[in-house]
Copies of this chain bind each other. A is one copy, B any other.
């Protein structure tokens, strides 16, 4: 049974909750939020579009909802922020069945509950083609304490959380074979975990000099830190914590760890004098390289050879 716009609003509204920071949720021209005195406001928006960010034959509605909210929460994590409220703009084509919408909201709201983030508003519309979602997450951070991309300095260590490459490897496998892979074999592709708890610790303990979330792939996201900070970087390929995938838990190819997107781990830098723990909030934190002077990004391979690390691709020195 297809879902009308009115029914969709009613359904979302019935699921929505007020939270500590939400004074007025769904049901007025705007939502009204409050952040603690002395805090600044964080805002992030991210599209999740059918055939661009997900495919209905590869991703269950629960997975689409989960991944949609993950994109926003991961951006809040990357600033060292606290999520306050989520807003969902959702447009559905006329023939999308009710059970798909229910599944989407189930996946979305399960993650929202886990992170204590109320769904506080949004918009609905009929879509001219495909499912269209835009997630907005509003967060807060103590004044002047947001961890930006521009704070990396030569000599800082470069760190990543968790393991890299599962997102890109899953996508590559599905694109090559044209078929869905098993969710159990690539759990982080289907159920990425936004690293809000880690971002909070890094902010509280003032460990990170810069930070970004790994949504576009390490080489591209590191290039953003380098550009915004006016620095270079050298990465040890051997040091990359490669995700284990498939039935036998084989490490992904290094290229997925270097360039694969969709991992939603954190990439941060920390001054050499700071002691960065090996685990934060139960998740491994790995030193993978160092910030350098200049603007080049280099990767050092297992054989000790240096290569230029290009965003979205790398080339051996000739």
- Chain A interface (Cβ within 8 Å of chain B)? 23-24, 27-35, 37, 40-47, 49-53, 74-76, 78-79, 81, 85, 87, 89, 91, 120-123, 125-130, 132, 134, 136, 138-139, 141, 143, 146, 148-150, 211-213, 228
Contacts and interface: CB of A to CB of B under 8 A. Distances in A.
Copies in the complex: 2
A69 B15 CA distance: 28
Q: Is the interface of A mostly helix, strand, loop or mixed?
A: strand
A18 to B, nearest CB: 14
A60 B19 CA distance: 41
Given A32-B40, A32-B141, 16 more contacts: A27-B228, A29-B44, A29-B75, A32-B146, A33-B40, A33-B42, A34-B143, A41-B138, A43-B120, A43-B121, A45-B122, A47-B91, A52-B91, A52-B126, A52-B128, A89-B134
Contacts of A130: 128-129
A213 B29 CA distance: 7
A40 B45 CA distance: 20
Contacts of A44: 29-31, 121
Contacts of A27: 149, 228
A166 B74 CA distance: 44
A128 B37 CA distance: 43
9 contacts: A28-B150, A29-B44, A29-B211, A30-B78, A30-B81, A32-B79, A45-B134, A50-B128, A129-B129
Contacts of A46: 89, 123
A30 B121 contact: no
Contacts of A126: 52
A87 B129 contact: no
Contact of A28 (B34, B53, B136, B149): B149
Nearest to A38: B37
A29 B146 CA distance: 10
